Each structure stands twice: as structure tokens, then as C-alpha cells.
Amino acid sequence: MTQKFDTLGLNKSILDAIEATGYTTPTPVQAQAVPEALAGRDLLVSSQTGSGKTAAFMLPALQALSEPAKVAGRGVRVLVLTPTRELAMQVTKATETYGRNLKRIKTVSIVGGMPYPVQNRLLKAGADILVATPGRLLDQMQSGRVDLTRLEMLVLDEADRMLDMGFKDDLEAIVAQTPAERQTLLFSATIDNNIARLAHGMLKNPVRIDVSGQQAKHENIEQRLHFADDMAHKNRLLDHLLRDESMQQAIVFTSTKRAADDLASDLHSQGFAVGALHGDMKQAARTRTLAALRKGGLRVLVATDVAARGIDVQGISHVINYDLPRQAEDYVHRIGRTGRAGKNGIAISFANVRETFTVRNIERFTSQAIPVSVIEGLEPKQKAFDRKPAGAPKKFGAKPAGKFGGKFSDRGTTFGDRASSGHGAGSSFSNASKPSGAKPDYAKSGGAKPSGLGSWTKPASAYAGKKEGSFGDKKQGTATTRRTTV
């Protein structure tokens, strides 16, 4: 049975706002988190970006604010901490949307890069909800402009990212100045030991909600991998993809700020409506770029990871990894920029044959294979991969997605169930973690080439000097790739 919003315990003005927004059913994280948060419980939630997590914390927060304050006076009642300015802006916007019928509630956003005089004025005028990045908030708290003694609810949004960005001490310093009896909701893409430690210090007997497995699969996003021989080849592929009419808007990810600027400038000179977004840009420029993207004035955004995190623009039909992300987790965040709000999306990654290991890490992390595609006329010269044949099931075996599922703890067994499915591929991933020189099981069985997922064979030279050298004794296979005209 599909749950409805009116069963979650929300009041009428909030339900009306949800209806006006066009949502008909709560997402899984909303269905699980809202009733518990309304009951006053602390929450430890693992959910991915795009899961509807903002409403999962903001709807109960707004409901709390529609009741009289527990402590009289002025001062912030709800504080949402986010890792980036963009996410803070997005949360602020969502708050205004969901709180449209609650007229007296004021939301203020305090982020780095914003001029102090503007910020100081906003803070002086008073705020019920503060959405902030940790560094600037702490700065303002130390200047005596933010008083958290009246705080009722603290939300840590994308807590894993805040830790990654080195905000741990800032977070602890901020939390130390909030009342112990506050309600705390912690949202994170994954719950690892660092998050668990943070949660232990900040949450009281939290309800644990985990929807990360469902979201991480990104079932509405078609993933493709294009092998590119070199940069010139990548540029030709990119040009082809961007000229395709089915592409509404795309975010193209590069690994450095410099590369983002250079590529944006190249694309601009080729006539594309393009903008760049990266951490070196002034806040005003970033805001302008995002506004242009949202309004459709930009068709292509070339971005780095940090800047693009949290972007929620529904017109993004394609995400293109011009450079692969260094961290598998960033891949999930990147591709989550498309397929927003239930739409379908396409995520395309360019990789060089030398990046096999990075691709494998991503596939292991998501428990999904990324099917290889070629564009007619733009085929790679280096056909060094033997991937699953077209038509074979897209996904790995029964293993649920999760940060540690395939990554560390059970590396050797994660894909083992595929071995018994007749593909014989269970060994290929297991052996990826063996020290150099260890042979995969299939190598011993007369060199019969496994046909399953991840069972790539490569020429010995492609692995020279690399840990994956254990595959070096495999003879080169024929690339079995899917053709597409995109």
C-alpha cells in the first residue's frame, strides 16, 4: 500500500504546501523519518542525495515551529548545518517552499563567501531557522551574532561530507553551544565509524533509518562507460554527446578547477551555452551560474565535485564524467545530479584503459556494473576490455549496495554468489584484492575466459607495474560492448 502524506502526522498548512508543491506520496526516507521526528526522537539516517531527505527533516522542523516556542524570547529554533553553500541555498529554498503557509517563520542562510554586512543585517533582524555552513556560522557565533541557547532542533545534513571537508572540530564547537535537550537529526550518505563516533557524541538514543541501499542504485539513471584513448578522443565524444538533441542540460565533471575553466572556455568557443562552477569562484558568481542553469540559460555546466554537490536542477538530463572521480563515493553524488524528482537520467563516464581500477572501485562501491558503450565513428582504438555481453543482467548479485559492503569488509565474498550463477565471475573481483602475483581462480582452469560482469581481460602491458598485475597473464579478449548512437 502506498503511504500518503496525510498519514504522517503533519498539520494542514504543511500538507497544503506539499500538495501545492506537487508531491503525492512520501519518499521512503520521508515516510520513515517524519513520524519519528514529529514524535521528538533523535534520528540517524543514511540516505543519498536525491532521496527527498530535505523534506524528511524540514517538514517536522516546520511543524515544530508552528507550535509556540518552548523558551520565550528571540533566537534560532532550528539550525541546519550543511557542507556547502549550494546545499545551504537549496535547503533554504526548500524551506520556503514547504513553509509557504507558515507566514511568520523566518529562514536565514549563513554561508561562507557572503558579505559580512549583509549577513550581519540578516542575523540582527532575527531568524527562526538558520541554514549554515559550519565555518561561517562559528565565525558569527564567536562574534556574538548568533545565539543558540533557544535551539530546539539541530539537523546535520550530509554529515559525512562535512567530516570529509574537515568540519569536525567546528561541528563540535557549534554543538557545544546548543542546549542538551535539543532534538538532533543526522543525515549522511553512509554511516561509517567516523559518523558513528560523531553521532554517539551528539544523538540521544537515535532511531536508525537506512534507505541508502535503495537510493544508491539510482535505478532511474542509465549509466554508460565510454573508453577514450586520449584527451582529443574525449573531446570528440563530449562534442557528440552535447550536440545530441535529447540532451536537455548536462553537468560535465572535471577533476580540477583549472580543467573546469579550460573546458568551459573551449566549449564556449564552440558555441555552447556553458558555465563553470568550482570552489575558487566568488559566491556571487556561483549563485549567478546556478541561477542561469536553473532557468535554462545554460545548457552545460562544467564543474568540480565540491561545487556541484547538492545541485538540484530538474532539467539535468545528463551527467558526464569527463574525468573520473577519485573517490567512488563521489561518483554516486555526481550521477545523482540527474534523474531528480523521479525523472530519468543518463550518466556517462569517460575512462582510459589505465583507469580500470578506478572503474572497478566505483562498480564495487555501487554494486552495479557500468555497461560499456561506443558511439559509431568514435570507437576507441584500444579495445583492451572484455566486459559482460550485451543483454546480460545489468546488476551484480544479491549483495546490497553500501559503502563497506564491497569496499572493505567482505571484499572476497561480495560477488561470490555470481560464481554459482554460471558466469564464473565471482573470482574476478575477489582476486582484485589479492597481492600482485596471485592468480584468479579462473586463470587456473585452463585459461577459460569468464564471461560475467567485471571479468575484464587485459593485455599484460596494460597492468604493468600495477597491483592488478595479477590479471596480466590473461590474453586479450574481444571487447563486447553495446553500441549506441546516444
Residues at the contact surface with ligand AMP, assessed by CB under 6 A? 23, 26-27, 30, 49-55, 312, 340-342
Q: Identify which of residues 26 and 371 has a Cβ nearer to ligand AMP in the complex.
A: 26
Q: Which helix (H) or strand (E) holds 78?
A: strand 78-81
CB of 314 to ligand AMP, least distance (A): 6
Q: Identify which of residues 12 and 124 has a Cβ nearer to ligand AMP in the complex.
A: 12
For residue 437, count CB atoms less than 10 angstroms from its CB and return exposed for 0-12, middle for 13-18, buried for 19 or more: exposed
Reduced to 3 states (helix: H, G, I; strand: E, B; else coil), residue 397 is coil
Task: Mark out the alpha helices in 66-133 (DSSP H runs).
Answer: 85-98, 116-125
CB of 3 to ligand AMP, least distance (A): 10
Cα-trace Rg, the chain: 24
Q: How far is CA 321 from the centre of its chain?
A: 14
CB of 347 to ligand AMP, least distance (A): 16
Do the Cβ atoms of 48 and 332 come closer than 8 Å?
A: yes
Q: Identify which of residues 52 and 477 has a Cβ nearer to ligand AMP in the complex.
A: 52
Q: Identify which of residues 131 and 138 has a Cβ nearer to ligand AMP in the complex.
A: 131
Do the Cβ atoms of 227 and 382 come closer than 8 Å?
A: yes
Distance separating alpha carbons of residues 250 and 316, to the nearest angstrom = 5
Q: Identify which of residues 53 and 85 has a Cβ nearer to ligand AMP in the complex.
A: 53
For residue 255, count CB atoms less than 10 angstroms from its CB and return exposed for 0-12, middle for 13-18, buried for 19 or more: middle
Q: What cell numbers appear for 409 in the block?
A: 569488509
Q: Identify which of residues 90 and 431 has a Cβ nearer to ligand AMP in the complex.
A: 90
CB of 197 to ligand AMP, least distance (A): 25
Distance separating alpha carbons of residues 473 and 110, to the nearest angstrom = 57
CB of 240 to ligand AMP, least distance (A): 29
Distance separating alpha carbons of residues 463 and 431, to the nearest angstrom = 15
CB of 6 to ligand AMP, least distance (A): 13
Q: What cell numbers appear for 393 in the block?
A: 543482467
Q: Identify which of residues 26 and 406 has a Cβ nearer to ligand AMP in the complex.
A: 26
Sheet holding 129-132, edge to edge: 107-110, 129-132, 78-81, 153-156, 183-188, 43-46, 207-210
Is the sign of the CA dihedral 470, 380, 452, 365 positive or negative?
positive
CB of 330 to ligand AMP, least distance (A): 17
Q: Identify which of residues 51 and 338 has a Cβ nearer to ligand AMP in the complex.
A: 51
CB of 102 to ligand AMP, least distance (A): 18
Sequence-separated (6 or more) residues with CB below 8 Å from residue 287: 89
Distance separating alpha carbons of residues 249 and 264, to the nearest angstrom = 14
Q: Identify which of residues 26 and 452 has a Cβ nearer to ligand AMP in the complex.
A: 26
